[in-house]
Structure 1
Amino acid sequence: MRVRTIPVTAGVSALLLLTGCGAADMTKQASPFAGAQGAGTVTLSVQSWVGAQANVGVAQYLLEHELGYRVDTVQVDEVPAWDALSQGRVDAILEDWGHPDQEKRYVRDKKTIVAGGGLGVTGHIGWYVPTYFARQHPDVTDWKNLNKYAGRLRTAESGGKGQLLDGSPSYVTNDKALVGNLKLDYQVVFAGSEAAQITQMKQFAKERKPFLTYWYSPQWLFKKVPMTEVKLPAYKEGCDTDPAEVACAYPHTPLQKYLNTDFAKNGGKAAAFLKKFRWTTEDQNEVSLMIANDKMSAQDAAKKWVDSHPSTWRAWLS
């Protein structure tokens, strides 16, 4: 879903929520436990969206409480996370939304990273309007009719154009190219982070105002603010190869895990566990909702989920 750099914060048992992008270079920083041979430690990369935090929260809880490892979490966005993983500065990425260039460089060419298997969750990015607005104006769900509603979707930040609300500029987004190539009378406006974007959408929904937003699933917010996807030109293999020429929808992406090659070979029970870690969209959303909406810590949310889903996670330990 999402790309660039976030300041690094190492916490042995704490998983912090991120609210924006930064400029730290993860290739020059490391957890004190990363790559520690035989020390019973694991370092997990955690990205800035709450679904990724849910994955890491549950993995960390089980690694610590069931397998006896000491777990460190490092906050870093996608592309720097690949660099850090390659160099052994983190041991695993639990949710990747598809980075073929990085996969080619590190998995196929350098062989410093290995695939860790599917997460069990399929991700999808798209454009959405609130369902209450779609019910009033059903034709807004076809991109060909968006210019008709540009005036209704104009904000102070978008100038004289309609607003297309994005989250962090670090996320995977084709939106500026899409707006230009589809000749839409819209301005992409970045909220700055997932948290800031959620705050804006919830405020719009509270006031029953229309909005158009870049958004993605799985995501817990759909339960609080029902949204309907706008149909963009159909995705076809290769239609997004040239970022400047993109004029198609985003693909549906089975989310993947990746492990540092040395860790995959020598990481013992921890590496085996992370390879087997696989859950459903419903599982992830359940934990995400507790973290983001109920304001629980990632570890408290993980414990609650673990306590109520033993048949799911015990298979990861076998």
Structure 2
Amino acid sequence: MTRQPSPYANAKGAKTVTLSVQSWVGAQANVAVAQYLLEHELGYRVDTVQVDEVPAWDALSQGRVDAILEDWGHPEQEQRYVKDKKTIEAAGDLGVTGHIGWYVPTYFAKQHPDVTDWKNLNKYADQLRTPESGGKGQLLDGSPSYVTNDKALVKNLKLDYQVVFAGSEAAQITQMKQFAKQKKPYLTYWYQPQWLFEKVPMTEVKLPAYREGCDKDTQKITCAYPQTPLQKYLNADFAKSGGKAAALLKHMKWTTKEQNEVSLMIADRKMSPQDAAEKWVDENRATWEKWLK
């Protein structure tokens, strides 16, 4: 955890909610809107804790945070904490479907249409080489903490590529924007929903089709990433005693388009998450009023 947990988390009698916020902007958009509504409509104090994906489950189980609003699929943690220990409760779909994949900029795909089939990637390895990729083509990833099978995929599909981690979503976006400005080719791990598609059009490279169970052994994996309905989770005690706050978070459900609206304001227009949330809340009463029932 990069910030200390709030001393108010789960404090008896305190009208306080502590939300886990991950490093990508979509997750920040969820938390910003939830925080604004909890504070301005329900009168709670909201604290946020920046925490990576897997440690967030530990923090949620221990009550150091009350909610995770966007989980991309961690079956081991779900088995341990939801099914076995019962210290975490599933809180339903966020309403957004996530998908991880490999992408090239659309301007490169138009020049070389066959690059969108993984079987042809080795043909373009030289063009996609960078100083960081050690003589191989570069596959640009974000943070090592994100859900990724890329190193195993490169090895198992016998691709002449090196996975290079930018370090964070923000650093990855900076690199992609620089490549796009210079109209240079690149291959990147990326995901939807994501606001950058509005600014830098990208085309997905088709990996071997995903089928149920093909990603069970991540060391032997040779298939694409699945479509993932993004999930919310609450600390089990908070789910029972969290009152209107827990009810709002359970009912919170919005679309990819709505999340991207807030993400664009934060990441592209450089608005603070609080200002972006306020603007969205002011303009979308019909959506969020349902969450308060």
Tell me the TM-score normalised to structure 1 length: 0.91
Distance, in Å, in 1 between the alignment partners of 2:235 and 2:100 is 27
Query: Structure 1 counterpart of 2:41, which letter?
Result: E
Measured in 2, the distance between the counterparts of 1:37 and 1:234 equals 49
Write out per-residue CA displacement over residues 133-182 of structure 1, whole angstroms, 9 at most, x where no aligned residue.
00010000000000000000000001210000000111111000000000
Aligned match for 2:57, one of 70, 77, 82: 82
Specify the alignment match of 1:271 in structure 2: 246
Which residue identity is paired with 2:12?
A: Q
Identical amino acids, percent of aligned pairs: 82
Q: 1:290 aligns with which of 265, 272, 281?
A: 265
Q: Aligned equivalents of 1:36 and 1:284: distance in 2?
A: 31
Q: Match for residue 2 of structure 2?
A: 7
Residue 213 of structure 1 aligns with which residue?
188
Does 2:279 correspond to 1:299? no
- Runs (4+) of structure 1 moved beyond 6 Å? none
Per-residue Cα deviation, 1:239-260 (whole angstroms, up to 9, x for no partner): 1111110110000000000000
Letter in 2 for 1:88: G
2:155 to 177, 180, 203: 180
Residue 170 (1) aligns with residue 145 (2): yes
Look up the SS of the partner of 2:64 in the other structure. Answer: coil
Compute the displacement of 1:30 (Å): 2.6
Q: Of 98, 111, 124, which aligns to 2:86?
A: 111
For 2:53 and 2:278, how far apart are their aligned partners in 1? 27
Q: CA deviation at 1:39?
A: 1.0
Aligned residues: 293
> Unaligned 5+ residue runs, structure 1?
1-5, 9-28
- Name the residue aligned to 2:228: 253
Query: Which whole-Å CA distance do the structure 2 matches of 1:148 and 1:209 have between them?
Result: 16
Residue 204 of structure 2 is aligned to residue 229 of structure 1: yes
Q: 2:124 aligns with which of 118, 142, 149?
A: 149
SS in 2 for 1:203: helix
Shift of 1:68: 0.2
Match of 1:70 in 2: 45
* Secondary structure of 1:244 counterpart: coil
AA aligned opposite 1:256: Q
Letter in structure 2 aligned against 1:158 = S
Alignment partners' CA distance in 1, 2:94 and 2:60: 17
1:50-82 deviation digits (Å, cap 9, x = unpaired): 000000000000000000000000000111100
State the AA in 2 paired with 1:239.
C
Could you tell me the TM-score, scaled by structure 2's length? 0.99
How large is the Cα RMSD of the aligned pairs? Answer: 0.6
Counterpart of 1:281 (choices 253, 256, 278) is: 256
What letter matches 1:90 in structure 2?
A: V
CA drift at 1:37: 2.1
CA distance in 2, matches of 1:98, 1:226: 26
CA distance in 2, matches of 1:140, 1:216: 18
1:47 correspondence with 2:47: no
Output one character per residue of 1:85-142: Cα deviation in whole Å (capped at 9) or x when no partner.
0010000000000000000000000000000110000000000000000001000000
Structure 2, unaligned stretches of length 5 or more?
Answer: none
Q: Which residue identity does 2:131 align to in structure 1? A: A
Q: Which amino acid aligns with 2:239?
A: A
SS of match in other structure, 1:243: coil
